[in-house]
Every structure is written in C-alpha cells, then in structure tokens.
Amino acid sequence: MRRVPILLLAGVLAFPARAAEVTPWAGAEETRDVGGAEKNLWQEAEEFDRALLRAGKVNADPALTAYLQGILDRLYPEFRGRLTVRLLNAPHLNAFALPNGSLYVNAGLIARFENEAQLATVLAHEGAHFIHRHSLQQAERVRNAAAFALVVGMLGVPLVGDLLALSSMFGYSREHEREADAIGYRRLIAAGYSARESTRTFEHLQAEIKAGDIKEPFFFASHPKLQERIESYSELARDAVNGEVARERFVETTAALRLAVLDTDLAAYRYKQIILVLGDPARRREYPPEASYYLGEAYRLRGETGDTERAEREYRAAIETAPQFAPAYRALGLMHYKRNEPALAVMRLRRYLELAPAAADRSHIEAYLARLEHPAPATP
C-alpha cells in the first residue's frame, strides 16, 4: 500500500486545533534542541529533503549551490549552518521553506530574475518563515493540506510530488506572508542590497503569469498573492535608499541555468513566456547570445503575422553571435528547406551535423539532406 505524505500527516497528529504564539529564533544555537510537535515536523522535513535528493530533483551544481548559499548566509548570518538553500530542477515559478530550515527555489523562478537583489528578496522572504517558525503556527492549514494529501495519495501521485505541490499550494496565512515581507525587507537592507528591486521582483512574475495565462497552483504563480507582495513591498520601499544590485555577478553565475530553463520552456511550448522575457531589450541583455535561437523558436511556434521573419532574424543573430551553437543552424536549415532553397538548406544542415555529430535527430536530418542532394528525377 502506498505511503501517505507523512510530513503533512504529522501536522494532523501533532498539532492542537489552534497553535499558540511562539518566539522567533534568535540564532542557530537556539535551534539545536527542539521538541514536541516541532521536532516531529523537523524529522519529517528532513525525510522530505532526503526524498528529493533520491528522486534526483535537486540540482547538484556546486558553483550554483555555493552562490545561493552565500546569498542566504549574507541575509541571515546568525543562522549559518541551519538555513540551507537548494536548487530544484523545476520550471515552475516557485520557492518554499520547510520547518527545518531547508529552503528550495526552482530553476524556473531564478531564470526570471534580473539581478541578485531580486533573488535575495525571495530568499529573505522564505528565510523569515523559518526564523519566525510560521509552520508551527499554521495548525489548521497543515490539517487541511493533510486531508487533501490523503485524497491525492489514493490516486497514486508520487510522495515527492504531493509534498512539493502542497507545500506551495497551501502556503502561509496572509498575516504570516506580510510578516515575512517586513522581515525579509529589513534583512535586505541590513545585507546591503537594493530594496527597490524587491517590488520589481514580483512585478516581473506577475507580468509573466498574465501573459502566459499561468494557472499553476504555486505560491509565486498565484496572482492574488503576488499582488499582495507588490503592495506590501511597495509600501516598505517607499523611502528606500540605493543598495547593491549585483547584476553582473548574477548574470554570469546563472547563465547556463537560464539557458537550460529556456530549453525546458520551449519543450513545453511556453513560447509566450519566452517572448515576454527575451522580447524585452533590457532583460535580453541578461542572457547569453544563444538565447536568440530560443526567441526565434518562440516566434515560430506562435505563428502570428510577421513571426516567420522575426524567427529568421533571431536564428541568424544566434549564428552570428554564437557560431558554435548547433540548434540555430538546424532551425534555419529547415526554414530554407520549407522555402525550397536547397543550397542554403544543405549548407545549414550540414553545419548542424558537424557541430552536433551525435544529434538525436541525425537520421531525420540526413534524410532531408538526401532528398536535397539527390532529388528524384522529374516525371515527364
């Protein structure tokens, strides 16, 4: 028999109907001796951590992991060693904190930021949920989530999937979210980051949700919750002073990750999101030159008037600025093939196979080349 999501069931068994007020943690030392219901939650959260690792959901890139952890330690220096951030290989706009101090941020969310200050805004917000022990104050929400998990569990949804969805779907109360906003904002200021970027963080996400008509049940993909974050941070940052943005460091460190997310978005036909992000010249500068190919593919998939010309322009830009990037040659070669331009098609497709000799679609491309180079004789 399939196991029920135990992290959530622990909440049903351990919590009273209403949770009492608790004192925020002052530092990592205070967290060494938890007990009672909170200890049970921590144990289940640790099992969840292990389940994610076993399932291969965690991105193990040491440079990215160290980069994220460095930001979190800068925001919460007194919790160094207790607050831990991990990167999830998931395209969804989501981040969440577990009761034991494990923070998770999805690759898809990081890819939508412009700079380190925006990323720090989310990490500061999620870290606040831990130090103020919000999970211990959410008895009713945990109970409701567990009841839902029982139903989902009967349908055979994997354990990790249940917990990932529910930890984001049910979130925290409006009061706790606003408290996390205020705490996170103060942490941004204390760490020297630009607090003015905090509002832009959520405005970008909200624009993408609207453009892509995203209905994913995750906290950072929820329009009402994002609007509350925008209003909350706008109020907090009314008299903000300038701080560090760290755009260059962010762009350099996350370049490969953001290209990988574009690849995932393209495979999922999320072309509206790609056009929204890469169609903005200011945001386009944050991406490596290979991004032109993905914008070209997004235009091709959209297929509106003028998109064929836009796609060709982007493919050519990718070839010019990233001449070793094979997919752009394939895309342009197939465009020439469909337009019955055999010489140009052969040139581009041959170059594609030279750059990607082990391409998964090699046999298909070779079939195209055979028809182009050895056309069937015309019938009299």
pLDDT tens sequence across 67-118: 999 999 999 999 999 999 999 998 888 888 888 899 999 999 999 899 999 9
- Of the pLDDT bands very low, low, confident and very high (cuts 50, 70, 90), residue 195 is confident
Domain assignment present for residue 269? The answer is no
What's the average model confidence in pLDDT over 29-45? 78
Domain assignment present for residue 368? The answer is no
Looking up tokens 């055999």 gives 342
| Whole-number Å distance between alpha carbons of 146 and 252 | 41
Q: Choose the weakest-confidence range: 31-40, 127-136, 322-331.
A: 31-40
- Is residue 225 predicted with pLDDT exceeding 50? yes
Question: Among 40-54, 224-238, 283-297, 312-326, which range has the highest average pLDDT?
Answer: 312-326
What predicted TM-score, i.e. pTM, was given to this entire model?
0.82
pLDDT at residue 24, rounded to an integer: 79
Tokens encoding 108: 């898809």
Q: Choose the weakest-confidence range: 185-194, 222-231, 252-261.
A: 222-231
104 φψ region: left (φ > 0), alpha (ψ -120 to 50), beta (else):
beta
Expressed in percent and rounded to 5, the helix, strand and coil fractions of the chain are 65, 5, 30
Count up the domains in the chain and report the number.
1
Domain extent, residue 138, equals 6-239
What's the average model confidence in pLDDT over 147-166? 41
What's the average model confidence in pLDDT over 266-292? 91
- Of the pLDDT bands very low, low, confident and very high (cuts 50, 70, 90), residue 17 is very low
Domain assignment present for residue 192? The answer is yes
Domain assignment present for residue 14? The answer is yes
Domain assignment present for residue 271? The answer is no
Contact 95, 105 (CB under 8 A): yes
- Is residue 147 predicted with pLDDT exceeding 50? no
Give, in degrees to the nearest 5, the angle at Cα 197 between 97 and 288: 90
Element (H, E) at 79: none
- Which DSSP category does 18 fall into? S
Helix and strand element counts for the chain (H, E): 18, 4
Among candidate residues 149, 139, 142, 148, the one with its CA nearest the CA of residue 4:
149
Domain assignment present for residue 342? The answer is no
- Is residue 20 predicted with pLDDT exceeding 80? no
- Is residue 132 predicted with pLDDT exceeding 60? yes
pLDDT tens sequence across 286-342: 899 999 999 999 999 999 999 999 999 999 999 999 999 999 999 999 999 999 999
pLDDT at residue 233, rounded to an integer: 87
Contact 178, 52 (CB under 8 A): no
| Whole-number Å distance between alpha carbons of 114 and 118 | 7
pLDDT at residue 170, rounded to an integer: 52
Domain assignment present for residue 281? The answer is no
pLDDT at residue 212, rounded to an integer: 73
Contact 69, 120 (CB under 8 A): no
Element (H, E) at 104: strand 102-106
Domain assignment present for residue 253? The answer is no
